[in-house]
Amino acid sequence: MDLSFTPEQIAFREEVRSWIATALPPHLAALAAVDAQYGMKESMEWHKILYQKGWVAPHWPKEHGGPGLDATRRFILTEELELAGTPILSPFGLHMVGPLLMQFGAEAQQKRFLPPILAGEEVWCQGYSEPNAGSDLASLQTRAEDDGAGHFVVNGQKTWTTYAQYADWIFCLVRTDASVKKQAGISFLLIDMKSPGVTVRPTLTIGGTPSFSDTFFENVVVPKENVVGPLNGGWTVAKALLGHERTLIAAVGYSRRQLRRCKRIAAEVMIGGKPALEHPSYRARLAHLEIKLRAHQMANYRALAGAQLGHAPGPESSILKLVGSEIQQQCFELAADIMGENSLSWFNDPGVVPPLEQWVAPAYCYNRATTIYGGSNEIQKNIIAKWILGLPDR
């Protein structure tokens, strides 16, 4: 297996870097320079710019409006965007329900939903978790009942619905048959968030953003043609989507950028009259993280090589999710340790702490969630034990 890049791929990387340098508007570049937090407004602005370039969905095939890039060029483009610190796009349409519709959706569903996802005209959110069905997703209780007139009537609650307050549509797992074993009676349903009976209650997180919401459904009427895949076959669709989501969470470029910020902070913060970067304990922690991140990067390259051969994400995506989420948290933990008392302050006005440190504390708090969302890391360890190591169920 050759994990090196060809001259053509290296040239493509340079093309991406040059384009980002000119296409990123100055006000977004200023935020990127200090690794600031972006809101939905900035994300959608950048979405439209990438859409005009044709790079908003590098993993989409040409027949659905994508650029037709191969797996390696898709990876390069994504990594360069992460390294440049450009706004992170909402993943729910581009990376989750979009690819699912290509794989499982009817032609009419693809024609209706894919173009506005690509253009950034319709924003999506994900309705998987419930108050008593998070890691044990198959225990979900939101039900969709046939009204005998071509519709389902949906009742229930979803929780941790990321940025539901901005979404036009939600893809949901709903129970459509309660008489069979719990995984067999679930369907994958698309619901218009403007439907009567849908209520969203955002929650301000400790990270300083209203990232998560509770979403309630009270007698919400949904056309039957909004089921994706077979009726009661939603569990298979859901597992395919989670594979894409966990690969996404590997976030190698993002972690490289955060580690780079750690080093910059360590070079500026003075401890005992010399930069933190010169203290053996911090140097050792930075080196440990660098080695772990390089190993993670190579694991991601192996998955990339598999994708280049046409292999769909398998259980190895759990390794990428597990390790990638831990590295993200460790980067922010190390940055906070180096900052000392400055890390105890967040929601700062400009100038209260150095610009590079301003957004570390909120990001540290928000990233507590990385080892939970996308399937908790405990669940990933079970998948790795069973499907990769071949260990028996307990």
Euclidean distance between CA atoms 149 and 46, whole angstroms:
42
Euclidean distance between CA atoms 216 and 158, whole angstroms:
6
Contact 101, 60 (CB under 8 A): no
C-alpha dihedral over 308, 309, 315, 321, to 10 degrees? -10
- In which element (H, E) is residue 127 found? strand 124-127
Give the orientation angle of helix 316-339 with respect to helix 252-268, to 10 degrees.
10
Tokens of 230: 């077979």
| Phi then psi dihedrals of residue 353, to 5 deg | -130, 165
Instruction: Give catalytic status of residue 245 as yes or no.
Output: yes
Strands 169-175 and 227-228: unpaired
Contact 254, 82 (CB under 8 A): yes
Which residues 6+ apart lie within 8 Å of 110 measured at CB? Answer: 64, 101, 102
3-state secondary structure of 346: coil
Tokens of 217: 């459904």
Give Cα 53 to chain centroid, integer Å.
22
Q: The tokens 């991140």 sit on which residue?
A: 293
Euclidean distance between CA atoms 318 and 3, whole angstroms:
21
**Tell me, what amino acid is at 384?**
I
Catalytic residue among 42, 80, 82, 245: 245
Residues labelled as active-site residues: 245
